[in-house]
Amino acid sequence: MIQEIDKLPKIALCRKCRGTGKVQDQETLEEKVCDQCDGSGRVTVSAKMILDIRPYHPKSNNL
C-alpha cells in the first residue's frame, strides 16, 4: 500500500542562524544577513512523504 502524506506549512526558527537573522562569514568573520531566512530568523517548513507499506514475508530456511 502506497500512502502520500502532506504536512501543512508551519513557521519555525531558522536553524542556520538560530533565529537571529545573521550568520558569521567564515573567511572575514563579519556578520552578514542569513541567506536561508533573508534576515527574518524564521522559515516556513513543509513536507511531502510517500510511504510504501508492505507485508513482511520471511524467506523459508531449508537447513
Question: Tell me, what's the pLDDT at 61?
Answer: 60
One-letter amino acid at 63 equals L
**Residue 60 domain-assigned (yes or no):** no
Distance CA 8, CA 23 (A): 28
**Number of compact structural domains in the chain:** 1
Band (62; pLDDT cuts 50, 70, 90): low
Indicate the pTM of the whole model. 0.64
Domain encompassing residue 40: 2-46
What does the pLDDT look like over 4-61, one tens digit per residue?
Answer: 999 999 999 999 999 999 999 888 889 999 999 999 999 999 999 999 999 998 886 6
3-state SS track over the chain: CEEEEEEEEEEEECCCCCCCCEEECCCCCCEEECCCCCCCCEEEEEEEEEEECCCCCCCCCCC
Question: Tell me, what's the pLDDT at 59?
Answer: 82
